[in-house]
Every structure is written in C-alpha cells, then in structure tokens.
Structure 1
Amino acid sequence: MSNEQDNYIQIKDLNRLQSVKNTDLLLLDDGVASCNAITFENFLQTAKDKTFKGEGLNYFKDIIKSTIATELQQNDDFINQVYNKILTKFLNDDSSSISSTYSKVKGKLGSRLSTYTLSKDNYFVTSSYSSL
C-alpha cells in the first residue's frame, strides 16, 4: 500500500501561490531517482528557446501557418481580392498564355464587328471583356 501512496501527491498539503517571481524555483522530478530545481526565469528562457529557436520551431511555424490559412480561407473578401489580383496579373502579363489568348479573343471580337452593325447586346459583351 505504501508503494501506491508514493505515486500520488496530495495537492491540499502544498502551499499555493498566486504569482511567481523570476527567482522562484520550480521543482523538476524525473519520477525515478532525482529531483532538481530551475528558476522560473531560466525555465521560461529555455522553453522560449526550444519553442522559437530549437526543437519546437517547425511545430510552432506549422501551427501559425495552419491558423492563418484557416482564417484566410473563411474570409470571402480576401479570397476575392486574391482572385482579382491573379486575374489582373495574368491578363496584363504579355508573356502569359492567358493574356495572349485574351488579347486574341478581344482582337477578333473587335475586328469582326463593325461599328455600324453593333447592337446593344454586342456592345455589352465587348465592354465587359475590355473591363477585365
């Protein structure tokens, strides 16, 4: 029975703190043979270094990327802005095949329709394409 009791700590017997000073010691128990202590300040520095500089950096970056990506996916205004910028980039980039195709279609529409045969519907089609 005493072996089972060694595996438990009674929290009610510990002194509870409301705040921690940088010089306070934190108990580190490996659970087997030794107990050590580290100052709160050193513990925070070590945790920060491992999170932002060392072993945890890639994990931290993945969490941030995932969070940002999820938020942006749910923002319709952001999606529309990106879509419009991509379309504008492709349509204004003379080296892209999309821009080349757009220019050819626009040129064919403009050259094949004479001004005296344009109806209101024809004008609407050409003006909507030219505003892209």
Structure 2
Amino acid sequence: MSPEQDNYIQIKDLNRLQSVKNTDLLLLDDGVASCNAITFENFLQTAKDKTFKGEGLNYFKDIIKSTIATELQQNDDFINQVYTKILNKFLNDDSSSISTTYSKVKDKLGSGLSTYTLSKD
C-alpha cells in the first residue's frame, strides 16, 4: 500500500452493521492527529442538546417555522378559516379599535349615500 493510500479508508473494508446499540462507540477523527470515540447514546444526547438547546436552536426554529408556514399557505381550508375569523373579529368585536373604525366608516358611508339619489343614464 502506498503512503497516499494510508490516508483513505475504503467502505468495503469496514464491518457493516444493521443496527446500533446505545453502548456502541462511534469513531470521531479530527482528520489530523487524533481519533476519539463516543458512545452512540452520548452522541445522540449531544446532538439533541446542540440542536434543541444550543447553537442549532435558532436554525431549527427557522426550519420549523418555514415548513409550517409553507404547509399552511398551501392549505385553502386553513386560509378560509383564518379569513373568516379575522372578518368576524373585525365586524363583531365592539371592543376592538378596528370594529370602532369600521362602524364609523360604515355610518359615514351610509349617511352619505342616503343623501344621493341614483339614476340610470
């Protein structure tokens, strides 16, 4: 084997596993000087912590928000439900400033229209 080939591991030379136990060791190679190992269980815990608690949390949140937004945006039933709820809130909630504004606009338009007569040209 040449010195250049010492830097490569061929997959066919490795033992293949169909499943992994929590106590199995995973090889961590920094590519330069050292090789270390971590149990599968500890690797999963570390990955979970980094993803959901550490530096990956914001990235994970962005992915989830983007996925949910895209799915909801494509769901016509959801869009119609939201639209209906917004309109109901807008038209029926006397405590909201939007409802007050709507009532004022409606009253102004109604009083203005009653002074005009419509004629057919």
Task: Give TM-score scaled by structure 1 length.
Answer: 0.73
Deviation by residue 1:102-132 (Cα, 9 ceiling, x = unmatched)? 43565578889999999999xxxxxxxxxxx
- Provide the C-alpha distance between the structure 2 equivalents of 1:93 and 1:70, rounded to a whole number of angstroms: 30
The Cα of 1:99 is off from its aligned counterpart by 2.7
- Provide the C-alpha distance between the structure 2 equivalents of 1:120 and 1:100, rounded to a whole number of angstroms: 34
Mean CA deviation greater in 97-106 or 66-75: 97-106
The Cα of 1:89 is off from its aligned counterpart by 1.0
The Cα of 1:8 is off from its aligned counterpart by 1.6
Mean CA deviation greater in 39-48 or 106-115: 106-115
- Provide the C-alpha distance between the structure 2 equivalents of 1:116 and 1:84, rounded to a whole number of angstroms: 33
Structure 2 portions without partners, runs of 5+: none
Q: What count of residue pairs does the alignment treat as equivalent? A: 121
Deviation by residue 1:38-80 (Cα, 9 ceiling, x = unmatched)? 0011001000000011111111111100000000000011111
- Provide the C-alpha distance between the structure 2 equivalents of 1:27 and 1:16, rounded to a whole number of angstroms: 14
- Provide the C-alpha distance between the structure 2 equivalents of 1:100 and 1:120, rounded to a whole number of angstroms: 34
The Cα of 1:5 is off from its aligned counterpart by 1.1
The Cα of 1:13 is off from its aligned counterpart by 1.2
The Cα of 1:92 is off from its aligned counterpart by 2.0
**Change in CA separation of 1:55 and 1:102 when aligned onto 2, cut-off 3 Å:** closer
Say whether 1:116 aligns with 2:113. no
Mean CA deviation greater in 3-12 or 57-66: 3-12
**Change in CA separation of 1:101 and 1:49 when aligned onto 2, cut-off 3 Å:** closer
- Provide the C-alpha distance between the structure 1 equivalents of 2:41 and 2:65, rounded to a whole number of angstroms: 29
**Change in CA separation of 1:93 and 1:120 when aligned onto 2, cut-off 3 Å:** farther
Mean CA deviation greater in 77-86 or 94-103: 94-103
Secondary structure in structure 2 of the residue aligned to 1:88: helix
